[in-house]
Amino acid sequence: MAAEKRFKYVILGGGVAAVSALSTPTDFSRVRGEGVRQTGRQAGELAIISKEQVAPYERPALSKGYLFPHNAARLPGFHTCVGSAGERLLPEWYSDKGIELILSTEIVKADLASKTLASSDGATFTYETLLISTGSSVIKLTDFGVQGAEANNILYLRDIVDADKLVAAMQAKKDGKAVVVGGGYIGLELSAALKTNNFDVTMVYPEPWCMPRLFTAGLANFYEGYYANKGINIVKGTVAVGFDADANGDVTAVKLRNGTVLEADIVIVGVGGRPLINLFKGQVAEEKGGLKTDAFFETSVPGVFAIGDVAAFPLKLYNETRRVEHVDHARKSAEQAVKAIKAKESGESLADFYGDNVGDDVLFGDNDPTAAKPKFGTYWVKDGKVVGVFLEGGSAEENQAIAKVARAQPPVADVDALKTEGLDFAAKV
């Protein structure tokens, strides 16, 4: 019979966001629970399930220190650190804390109704609260049926297995020719890494300049010039449409749409990623390609949170939903979700902010730090209208009311009256 393991909390994914849920100031690894040991928790309380073979590590190192020609970063040297103290989270750290680190385990089915996850090797895990932190997968040229894209040495970079393949290919094709497909940050970083490893590097991308989503033409001009001075060739305004391979199946050339053929011993493709949310299709609301959450990173299914790359969350400052693929966001979203879980368990509420914090600020409520239950907030008034609201200590209904205020932007005739009315003003909108 297949094994079943029960946990109070399961974090699905062993990447940057997952480990941040354990090492933020809120410290999920010491979240309240019966019988928690001084340094950790009871077995069966918290698990991280990851398909990777190794404990969580700093993913950005893979496109940087991991590829250095000398003194390259290797595990355990870049396992994730706890906060600013710098302690590396080695596997023993998890066991000392009573956290089950379940590695080499890919979840292939998630049933949110029965709170059950099933792995490819037949194990079943149940949870009370789930944090989804499955991150992103790379977009592959084989996904679009690009001719010859399955040849050997056409490589991608997302995890340490990919990075090891890249290192092996660089050793096998020493001092060879490399073509980098894609002009985003992966393309730029890997072109630099290959050049440092003495490859003859050509970058190819369709846009008029690199990193078009972030860089202006002027900014890109500097970086493209800098790369050219280092001897990196840049081919813009075209794409790879096919590949040639030798009798061993190793790539030998990249065919471009503009008719050019580039010789290649290694090809690295960095054309973007997509959030890994397939397991939850049809079970939870989606937006912007990710799992839609509220401001506390809880999805449309109560008790199921989404953090890191997969979360599509409301960015109230701009009144829109965003998905962000950055380490900093992975950390902050994990911290916010853990705070929300802890607050829910202890019946507390969290501070919330909606709209824009511009114009005159009008403080209301009881902000005495010694008060047993402080509840206070601020309205921001601009051009005679409320454009933003912050509330500390409010109930779910009160937070909904202030969210409505920020959306409606009601006019304010008398700022003093607004201060006195406080939350009553929001209730009337």
Ligand X SMILES: Cc1cc2nc3c(=O)[nH]c(=O)nc-3n(C[C@H](O)[C@H](O)[C@H](O)COP(=O)(O)OP(=O)(O)OC[C@H]3O[C@@H](n4cnc5c(N)ncnc54)[C@H](O)[C@@H]3O)c2cc1C
Applying CB under 6 A, the residues found at the interface with ligand X are: 13-18, 49-52, 59-60, 62-63, 106-107, 133-136, 157-159, 276, 279, 308-309, 325-328, 330
By beta-carbon proximity to ligand X, the closer residue of 129 and 134 is 134
Q: How far is the CB of 103 from ligand X (least distance, A)?
A: 9
Report the chain's C-alpha Rg in angstroms: 25
Of the two residues 104 and 147, which places its CB atom closer to ligand X in the complex?
104
Nearer to ligand X, 293 or 409 (CB): 293
Are 280 and 291 in contact by the 8 Å Cβ rule? The answer is yes
Q: Given the complex with ligand X, which of 134 and 409 has the nearer CB atom?
A: 134
Residue 290 has phi, psi (to 5 degrees) of -120, -170
Report the C-alpha gap between 123 and 125 in whole angstroms: 7
Is residue 103 a contact partner of residue 75, using CB atoms and an 8 Å limit?
no
List phi, psi (to 5°) of 176: -90, -160
Strand 360-366 relative to strand 286-287, pairing: unpaired
Buried b or exposed e, range 225-250, using 16+ CB within 10 angstroms: eebeeeebebbeeebbbebebeeeeb
CB of residue 328 to ligand X, shortest distance in Å = 6
Q: At its nearest, how many Å lie between ligand X and the CB of residue 127?
A: 14
What letter does residue 147 receive in the DSSP assignment?
B
Q: What is the Cα–Cα distance from 396 to 138, expressed in whole angstroms?
A: 38
Please, which residue, 59 or 115, has the CB nearer to ligand X?
A: 59
| Cβ closest to ligand X, residue 87 vs residue 328 | 328
Q: How far apart are CB 279 and ligand X at their closest, in Å?
A: 6
Report the C-alpha gap between 268 and 165 in whole angstroms. Answer: 11
Q: Which residues contact 299 (CB under 8 A, 6 or more apart)?
A: 132, 284, 285, 291, 292, 293, 305, 306
| Minimum CB–partner distance for residue 62 and ligand X (Å) | 4
Nearer to ligand X, 143 or 424 (CB): 143
DSSP state of 65: G
Query: Within its chain, how far is the Cα of 207 from the centroid?
Result: 25
Helix axes 16-23, 327-345, angle to 10 degrees: 50
| Residue 110 parent element (H or E) | strand 107-111
Between the two ends of the chain, the Cα-to-Cα distance in Å is 58
If the CB atoms of residues 160 and 256 are measured against ligand X, the closer one turns out to be 160
Q: Which of 132, 96, 110 shows the shortest CA–CA distance to 279?
A: 110
Strand partners, 248: none
Of 97 and 332, which has the nearer Cβ to ligand X? 332
Closest residue to ligand X: CB criterion: 15
Specify the pairing of strand 154-155 against strand 266-269.
parallel
One-letter amino acid at 257 equals R
Q: Name the residue nearer to ligand X (CB basis): 121 or 361.
A: 121
89's tokens? 């989270």
> Per the structure block, which two tokens stand in for 111?
């049933």
